[in-house]
Every structure is written in C-alpha cells, then in structure tokens.
Structure 1
C-alpha cells in the first residue's frame, strides 16, 4: 500500500509542477474538509481550478482517466462548492479539471490535462 501512496504523491507533485510550468498558481494541495479532499486547487487568471489527479505506473489496469467516475466528479463539484463557500471573495469563474499521470518506474512520466470536465 505504501508504494501506491508514494505513486499518488509523486503524481500530484508532477501535476502541480505541470500546472505551475503552464502559468497556474497552485493555491492548495490536498485540501480537506469533513466531506473529502481536493487534490489541487490552482488559479489561472480570474479562474479557480479544482483538479482531480489520477496516477498509474502504466496502462495495465487502464488509463488513469478511466478511474474518474461520475460519482467522483459529483463529489469534486460538491467539494469545490465547499471550498468556495469558505474562501471569500469568490472567484469570477471556477473550473473542474482532471490530470492523468502515467509515471513508470523507469523513464519519463506522461501528463495529460483535461480542462472543464463535468
């Protein structure tokens, strides 16, 4: 289990760096409340972006995006609302994104970013 947790943390760190390299400002990582956790909260311009990160070491168990279910997206929407309610003034816009990280034990990781997943 520890290696799975380590892989997840590595994927989130790679995703945060990817966003920063793309000009986003990472506001929070692993934001938690009683209802759950948001992997990354970032800002680009006047948009607050709530990001779900899924990491795999390969594709043997499917693409990371396949693990983002409708239930997971509904939870992300609810958590984004909770974060916005706690952080005033609110953003002009919000967006829900997903990042897939394929991080093999050897070799370079691959990162895919989907904007505006619902």
Structure 2
C-alpha cells in the first residue's frame, strides 16, 4: 500500500493534529497544577484562544505552542498572534461578564518533544 503524496493538505492536517495533541497535553498539565479548563479553541472573529483556564481568582488565556525546540516555540508567538489572542480574550470577557471580577492574564504553554509542557505565567501584556 502506498502513502498518499505529501502536499499542503497533508501538511495542514498533520499540523492540525499536532496542535490538537499539544493542546490536550497542555490542558492536562494545567489540570494537574489545579487549573480548571473553561474553554478550548475559543474562536472570536479572526482570533482564537487555545485554552481558557481558571485557578482561584485568575482567568488565563493560554496560547499553546508545539515546536521542536523551546526557542522555536517562543519565536512562534508573534506580535500579530498576541494581538489576535488579546482581541479574542476581550470577546470572551464580553460573553462571560463574571470574568471581569478575576485577574485576567495571558499565559503560554510550550510543548517540546521529550519534555513536560512548560507553563509561562503572565507571558505577555494586554496591548491591543
């Protein structure tokens, strides 16, 4: 049996599966640290938040990045992607007004092969 030819569609499906797996792993890592996952893949207009999590009085909008290295994962969080996340977070808060009574922040979880996911708290400011 031959393999289907590689191409943009196959690459896109692989990237989607990799991202979904990384988000699942990140969600479990956060749960083990006491976080409750409020939403996964929250979409709002052109923006998307991978995970929305709550622990105590904190609601974190979490960007998950899976790359071959920690540096590559950090580099993948561009100013444009941060702006999209911030805009989506504002929509989330508008739809969930009780969220304003919590400390809101933007976290990142880096998923690198062979390592436990790294949770970076308050990774970037709300600058939109």
Task: Give TM-score, length-normalised by structure 1.
Answer: 0.86
Q: 1:113 aligns with which of 85, 95, 119?
A: 119
Q: 1:100 aligns with which of 76, 89, 110?
A: 110
- Higher share of residues assigned helix: 2
> Once superposed, what is the RMSD of the aligned Cα atoms?
1.7
* SS of residue in 1 equivalent to 2:108: strand
**Structure 2 residues not aligned, in runs of 5+:** 1-10
* SS of residue in 1 equivalent to 2:89: helix
Alignment partners' CA distance in 1, 2:112 and 2:102: 32
Give the paired residue count.
Answer: 112
Alignment of 1:80-91 (within 5 A): 80-90=89-99, 91=101
Hey, which bits of structure 1, 4+ residues long, moved more than 4 A? none
**Structure 1 residues not aligned, in runs of 5+:** none
Q: Do structure 1's residue 67 and structure 2's residue 73 form an aligned pair?
A: no
* SS of residue in 1 equivalent to 2:98: coil
Deviations for 1:2-31, whole angstroms, at most 9, x for unmatched residues? 222111111000000000000000001001
